[in-house]
Amino acid sequence: MFKLENLSHRYSDGTLAIDNVSLNFARGERVAFLGTNGSGKTTLLNHLNGILKPTSGNIYFEDKPLAYDAKSLLTLRKRVGFVFQDPNDQLFASSVKQDVAFGPLNLGYTADRVKELVNEALVTVGMSEYVDKPPHFLSGGQKKRVALAGVLAMQPEVIIMDEPTSSLDPIAISDILHLLLQLNKEKGITLLLATHDVDMVPLFAEKLYILNKGKVVSEGTPKTIFSNAELIRKVNLRSPRIAHLFEVLKKENGLPIADEYPLTISEARKEILRLLKTTEK
């Protein structure tokens, strides 16, 4: 679906934020970009719906190179939605309804069609009772949902989210993750996430890219990547807590644990039960 070829981006102050990145992902994938602050995640994702232009290299969306005239950008942005990290940047209208309606109105739909899309999007994110409220009435988690609804109302095929879980409480994080997984499953929406929340990644992503200083240093499934603990530490990240526990149990206590560490609670449970059975024998 997306193909990036030797993409580089240099900011006007001279910082090389993206350094020769090539990658591609398919329709319906759930992809996470993991990296520390300043590793280039946001800059990379900003290229995918035309917010930033590459300094060099090419981006293809469905085999066509991105064009940057107003009409092509509108078509691209209808198909590729971007949810920003700080919902206060994104929610600018005076009410939830007006904000969610902004995208569809820009696409030139009729008022009735827009109302339909707004309602549908707000039902999906569970915010329909706040339709007439102004954004400053909402909590952080609620704002994030409305920001997501604003993108959903444009019926995108790809949703890009920058730090979807930052500054949310645990319940709000788990709600938004479930919502994203549901969108991916039911509507086949391709999801691209930038995050530094390592514990969230295995719950969400099928494919993981590790970014460091503007370069992709590793790619693969969360399982293969997190079993390489040295690499993770080298780029100043850490493994998920559960993987770390199993790594210590294996290396310090010599327990016969599989090479790919469990990353989630359910995987850990399986591994523990397997271990108990082998020791019983």
Partner 1 sequence: MSHPDLYAEVDKSAYTNALAKSSPVTKTFFALSALLISVSASYFDMPGVISFIVPVVVFTICTSLTLGLAKVKAHLYLDLFTYPILMLILSCIFIALFFGSGTPVIEIPLHWATWTIFKSGISMSVNTFFRVAGALSCLFFLVLTTSITDLCVLLRRIRIPQAMVEMSMLIYRYIFLFLEISAKMSLAQKLRLKRSGWLSSIRSLAMLTGSLFIRTLDQGERTLVAMNARGYDGEMHILDDFPSARKTALVGIVLFDVLLIALVLLTKTSGVVL
Binding residues vs partner 1 (CB under 8 A): 49, 51, 70, 73-74, 77-78, 81-82, 84, 86, 88-95, 97-98, 101-103, 105-107, 111, 114-115, 118, 132-137, 150-151, 154
For partner 1, the closer CB: 112 or 259: 112
Nearer to partner 1, 72 or 221 (CB): 72
Least distance from partner 1 to the Cβ atom of residue 251, Å:
45
- Residue number with CB closer to partner 1 (94 or 266): 94
Sheet containing 190-195, strands listed edge to edge, beginning at the edge strand earlier in sequence: 80-83, 158-162, 190-195, 30-34, 207-212, 215-220
Amino acid at 7: L
Tell me the Ramachandran region of residue 213: left when phi exceeds 0, alpha when psi lies from -120 to 50, beta otherwise. left
DSSP H/E element including 75: helix 70-79
**Which one-letter DSSP state was computed for residue 137?**
G
The position carrying tokens 């520390």 is 36
144/88 Cα distance (integer angstroms): 9
Minimum CB separation from partner 1 for residue 118, in Å? Answer: 7
Q: Which of 224, 233, 230 is nearest to 259 (CA)?
A: 224
Q: How far is the CB of 115 from partner 1 (least distance, A)?
A: 6
Cβ closest to partner 1, residue 109 vs residue 235: 109
Q: Token pair for residue 196?
A: 């530094």
| CB of 42 vs partner 1, minimal distance in Å | 11
Distance of closest approach, residue 148 Cβ to partner 1, in angstroms: 12
Q: Rounded to an integer, what distance in angstroms lies between the CA atom of residue 208 and that of residue 165?
A: 17
